Amino acid sequence: MINAIDKPAIFISPNYVIEAVNKPYRDTYPVDIKLGFSTCYHVSHRNNKPCNECGETCPMQESKKTGRAANAVHIHATNEGQSYCDILMRPIFGSAGELLGYLEILDKLTFASNSPSPGKMIGESDAFKAMLNKINRAAKSDICVLLQGETGTGKELVSQALHSASYRANKPFVVIECTGLSDALFESELFGYEKGAFTGASSSKKGLVEAAEGGTLFFDEIGDVPLAMQVKLLRLFETQTYRPVGSTTVKKANFRLVCASHKNIKAMVQRGEFRQDLYYRIAGFPIQLPALRERPDDIPMLATHILSALAEKKRLHKTVLNRLSTYSFPGNIRELKNIIEQAALLANETTIREHDLPESIFDEVTDSPTGSATNISTDNTFNRAINGLFDSTFTTHAVANSDALLKEDIMTLEHAEADYLKQVCRNYTGSVEELAEALDVSVRTLYRKLQKTNIKIKGAFS
């Protein structure tokens, strides 16, 4: 039975021992599989204990709890190196209802990686793996997919993954940019036009729908399509028929539909800005892309991936990675790419350091109520210094035996910070980088504060 399955598959006992295996599974892993002896976790992960004991979700454990099929996205050690696999685990019962074991079937996710790989989606966080599972499931059918997420989260890359993992992979992948197109231009671009259809139409032109024949049609930022055009899109999506501008002939289309928007389309429907019938047509399988701040564990990997694509090879200092991990990335992966590319250009050495990063990163962290820079006030050394400053201030200015604190008795925060920096720098002999790290601010921010207050560090500036 197992040899009839075209995907890599094994039958395993409840204690993880492989009892049966098909050829695609053997061909996937560079190890000799011995039936009745080899375990699934050793073959796939080179582990000596089950996945759930190594920090991963074990689909068998989930299946044991529920008595039903379960799935998980794992990174396996295959012949091609570390590879993503979508695992489906099914319990197999005997005629008397007794559990015989589990059937494990693998789907290789060639569109994703946990290491720098051109053209692939990069990550290994739980949010990333959950998204991969949805992409893989949707790719196997012709269901309409709606990708929603903030700008810069990689919606076009996901749409390409949906196409490459589908049976239409060898057919065209056509992108339609919906933003900024007028009604007339949108219709002619989408459906094409006949010769003489309008002034300047000296010849017929094939539209993007026809160009996507047999493949995938990706409507990027579909929330920007004018209401007047939405009814024509609805007809196209429902009937897969259209009529070129200036023609009386109806043409038949054949494409898989994927749409994307950074806007909340459902909210637009409620406001009357988007047709409800069109929404339910395009949202057959919604996929929410996680923002970068929701997958901070992926930031170092993504940064390394971006660096690897640059002509001049450089690396990131650990303090840079720490700083990037505290940033919220409102522009998501697109913003991370811009930051890394800017820093690589500014860095004078092969190692990119904090002072090479854009100032906007530090401004946000410093101003954030939860940012690490603001937490410096909890440091004991800082508290002692500030208390000393206030004590001397109150001794000079406060009214004796008075419980009231007058306005003129209060030192400004700017003054307090300047005095604290003077105290620290008076006898400090280390480097500026070390002091910045101790103060939990960037080197660039420290330089700015020192220059503003005309403070010099002993040893570093002498």
Confidence category of residue 403, pLDDT binned at 50, 70, 90: low
Higher pLDDT, 282 or 184: 282
Sheet holding 256-261, edge to edge: 173-177, 216-220, 256-261, 145-148, 285-288
Tokens encoding 75: 């990174």
Measured between alpha carbons, how far is 394 from 399 in angstroms, rounded to an integer? Answer: 8
User: At which residue do the structure tokens 């007794």 appear?
Assistant: 98
How many helices and strands in the chain, by DSSP H and E?
A: 18, 18
- pLDDT at 68 (0 to 100): 95
| Whether residue 451 has pLDDT greater than 90 | no
| Whether residue 386 has pLDDT greater than 70 | no
Higher pLDDT, 194 or 210: 210
What mean pLDDT comes out for the span 335-363?
A: 92
Confidence category of residue 436, pLDDT binned at 50, 70, 90: confident
- pLDDT at 367 (0 to 100): 39
Measured between alpha carbons, how far is 407 from 275 in angstroms, rounded to an integer? Answer: 59
212 touches 172 (CB < 8 A): yes
Confidence category of residue 188, pLDDT binned at 50, 70, 90: confident
Q: pLDDT by residue (tens digit) across 116-156? A: 898 899 999 999 999 999 999 999 999 999 999 999 999 99
DSSP 8-state symbol, 245: B
| Residue whose C-alpha is closest to residue 411's, from 372, 442, 429, 385 | 385
Buried b (16+ CB within 10 A) or exposed e, 192-215: bbbeebeeeeeeebebbbbebeeb
Tokens encoding 462: 């002498």
**DSSP secondary structure, 355-368, as one string:** GGS-HHHHHHHHH-
| Whether residue 393 has pLDDT greater than 50 | no
Q: pLDDT by residue (tens digit) across 18-47? A: 999 999 999 999 999 999 999 999 999 999
- pLDDT at 211 (0 to 100): 95
Higher pLDDT, 79 or 370: 79
What mean pLDDT comes out for the span 152-165?
A: 96
Of the listed ranges 13-17, 70-74, 237-241, 403-407, the one predicted with least confidence: 403-407
- pLDDT at 458 (0 to 100): 58
- pLDDT at 414 (0 to 100): 75
What mean pLDDT comes out for the span 219-234?
A: 92
pTM for the full model?
0.76
- pLDDT at 382 (0 to 100): 46
| Whether residue 408 has pLDDT greater than 80 | no
| Residue whose C-alpha is closest to residue 116's, from 307, 289, 295 | 307
What mean pLDDT comes out for the span 169-186?
A: 88
Measured between alpha carbons, how far is 207 from 253 in angstroms, rounded to an integer? Answer: 11
453 touches 368 (CB < 8 A): no
- pLDDT at 43 (0 to 100): 96
Measured between alpha carbons, how far is 49 from 53 in angstroms, rounded to an integer? Answer: 6
- pLDDT at 364 (0 to 100): 64
| Whether residue 447 has pLDDT greater than 50 | yes
Higher pLDDT, 376 or 76: 76
- pLDDT at 360 (0 to 100): 81
- pLDDT at 365 (0 to 100): 45
The DSSP bridge partners found for residue 242 are 251
| Whether residue 64 has pLDDT greater than 70 | yes
Instruction: Spell out where 311-375 has E strands.
Output: 315-316, 351-352
- pLDDT at 405 (0 to 100): 56
Q: pLDDT by residue (tens digit) across 257-305? A: 999 999 999 999 999 999 999 999 999 999 999 999 999 999 999 999 9
What mean pLDDT comes out for the span 225-248?
A: 90
Tokens encoding 445: 């921010």
Average pLDDT, the chain: 86
- pLDDT at 425 (0 to 100): 82
| Whether residue 178 has pLDDT greater than 70 | yes
Higher pLDDT, 119 or 453: 119
